[in-house]
Structure 1
Amino acid sequence: MTNEQAATLRAQWIGQQLRAMREGARLTLKDVGDFINRNASTVSRMESGIIPPRVPEVLAYLDLCGVDDPRRRDDLKTMAQDAWQKGWWDGFSANVAGSLIDWIWLESRATEIRSFQASVIPGLLQTRAYAEALIRAWDDAATDEEVARYVEVRMQRQRRLEQPDPVRFSTVIDEGALRRVVGGPEVMRAQLAQLRTVASWSNVEVMILPASAGAHACPDGTFDVFRMRRPYAPTGCVSTAVGAVVVEGERADSLHQRYDRLRRAALRNGAVQRFLFDLEARLE
């Protein structure tokens, strides 16, 4: 269990906070270890995110470092609780959900997600058949059982859009992604119809970047930006062929700025509905 927790982004985040707090107080690893009844090696592993700290350990850190600001203490307590948070994803095996754990957790904590997609429809808006076709193309060695589990993870993620307090989801989809027929005409027709439906939801905004827009703000690929609940700052995830790169601070802000530029160049509202309906009608 500890090793699985060690890989999480949230464990690394709180570890960074603990280290900065200790160094700011000019304390050694041994100083902290003696105070919380841990050896220096264990304290180092907590600060590296290898061992997520428990709430009592975080509170002890705060006491030792002389941090008495109630807001700061509440923030770090929340981060410690999140480091051990369990969710629906725990029901899936590590090889199915493991690489997505950080992404899923960011979605669970976000109040708003902004997504630019250049080659596929966003995972949160995919139909089951479309998702299955993508996954089979992505991993042609996966068994039918593995594919079914991958698809189920994607379908579970979509519940975040329909919860009582749903996340706000805004996406700009490149026209090329919509013209790429995934899974055959029937699957693609159903996917386009699904997009038209969700585009009418109050918490979902679907936009299309037309080919006529020419060069645009993000020619290098796709990304998602998450506006997070306190105590977390905005976070971005840039998709690559070997996984997502997580960015924070100014780099996340730059993704928001790129998204704003893409949004200004995109079709919206009725123009999106007409575009999707026309594409759907042309499929044979």
Structure 2
Amino acid sequence: MAVRKGSTLRAQWLGKQLRELRESAKLTLKDAGDYIQRDPSSLSRMEQGITPMRVPDVLTLLNLYGVSDARLRDGLERLSRDIWQKNWWDGYSDVFTGRIIDHAWLESRAQRLRSYDAMVVPGLLQTRRYAEAVIGAADPHKPKERIARWAEFRLHRQRVLSGDCPLRLSVILDEAVFYRAVGGPEVLRDQLGHLVDLAQCSTISIRVLPFRAGVGASPEGPFTIFDMPDPYPDVAYIETRAGALYVEGDEAAGFAHAYASLDETALAPDESVAFIRNAAEQTI
């Protein structure tokens, strides 16, 4: 689903789950609205994710709908608190749209992230200079101060890769990524060295998809899969010029199958590290 303007993925997920629970309880919008002292149109906007739902209303509705599963209740309560809780990315809300804030939130909640990239190194693995070069290339007219702000945000996102419970990250990179001189040879060489260092981490897997593998399982381009804990659905993310697209359920499963096919044809981890080292040495 495309995230609505003014809404967040979190609010849409919560609203969708509560709508399904209400319908399962065979209650109308008026029934539920009267119970929490909201008119039906207000509750409808909440279920659509247009208006964020407050935690007391969520807990009251869960009681009305007869939800006794502790895991589901805890998950939905946490999701409702996430909608309102301030976090580090709120310091960038004056610069970024909701789609990238949603992306950072997904990274903070995911159990594992899998991605396939064919053009550039993904943001979670970028050095500052490489990030600034990618951001600047996307919008050559962006002021240097704004580029620096974007790069700072991207580096802050990388904190999910460290700490007590780091995100498990599996990345497949097309061979072309290692020869595309983003920012010039020196920037690329430093970036490739950074990848070699990151590949030593037990929670990070970096694999190379060689040219000989052919067109691969994703000729449409890059994608990211977020493996989420309950009650969140697993999500596939695709970046487009028209905005971010998030898909769930069977559609997300299709991306998981594509990733599995790419994984079968990618170089082994040790071979990939050797390939990246060699590419760095050839960068002049």
CA gap of 1:143–1:98, structure 2 versus 1, over 3 A, is: farther
- Asked if 2 retains the 8 angstrom alpha-carbon contact of 1:5 and 1:51, the reply is no
Query: Amino acid of the residue matched to residue 278 of structure 2?
Result: D
What is the rounded CA distance, in whole Å, between the counterparts of 1:242 and 1:43 in structure 2?
29
Q: Which amino acid aligns with 2:165?
A: D
Counterpart of 1:219 in structure 2 is 219
- The residue that corresponds to 1:185 in the other structure is 185
* Unmatched tracts of structure 1, length 5 or more: none
> Are the aligned partners of 2:8 and 2:98 in contact in 1 as well (CA < 8 Å)?
no
Matched, 1:236 2:246: no
Residues 1:18 and 2:18 are matched in the alignment: yes
2:105 alignment partner in structure 1: 105
> Is the contact made by 2:236 and 2:252 (CA closer than 8 Å) also made in structure 1?
yes
- Structure 1: which amino acid aligns with 2:134? L
Moved more, 241-250 or 188-197: 241-250
Whether contact under 8 Å (1:6, 1:52) holds in the other structure is no
Contact 2:54 2:80 in 1 (8 A): yes
Q: Map Cα deviations across residues 89-144 of structure 1 (whole Å, 9 max, x no partner).
A: 01113333533011111100001000100111011000100000011110112111
Gaps of 5+ in 2: none
Is 1:27 paired with 2:27? yes
- Distance change in 2, residues 1:107/1:121 (3 Å): same
1:56-205 to 2 correspondences below 5 Å: 56-96=56-96, 98-205=98-205
Say if 1:78 and 1:231, in contact at 8 Å, map to a contact too: no
Q: Identify if the C-alpha distance between structure 1 residues 117 and 250 changes in structure 2 by more than 3 Å, giving closer, same or farther.
A: same
- Matched letter for residue 158 of structure 2: Q
Offset at residue 5 of structure 1 (A): 10
TM-score (norm 1): 0.94
Q: Distance in 1 between matches of 2:62 and 2:166?
A: 34
Aligned to 2:279: 279
CA separation of 1:202/1:153 partners in 2, compared to 1, >3 Å: closer, same or farther? Answer: same
Alpha-carbon distance in structure 2 between the residues aligned to 1:187 and 1:67: 54
In 1, Cα distance between the equivalents of 2:238 and 2:191?
24
Q: Distance in 1 between matches of 2:123 and 2:34?
A: 47
* Matched AA of 2:135: I
Q: Distance in 1 between matches of 2:248 and 2:111?
A: 16
Supply the AA of the counterpart residue of 1:49: G
Query: Residue 53 of structure 2: SS of its match in structure 1?
Result: coil
Partner of 1:46: 46
1:250 equivalent in structure 2: 250
Give identity over the alignment, percent.
Answer: 47
> Given that residues 32 and 61 in structure 1 are in contact (C-alpha distance below 8 angstroms), is that contact kept between their aligned partners in structure 2?
yes
Instruction: Tell me which amino acid in the other structure corresponds to 2:51.
Output: I
TM-fit CA distance, 1:28: 2.2
SS at structure 2 position matched to 1:116: strand
CA distance in structure 1 between the partners assigned to 2:167 and 2:269 by the alignment: 19
Aligned residues: 281
TM-score with structure 2 length normalisation? 0.94
Instruction: Choose 231-240 or 220-229, whichever is displaced more.
Output: 231-240
Aligned CA-pair RMSD: 1.7
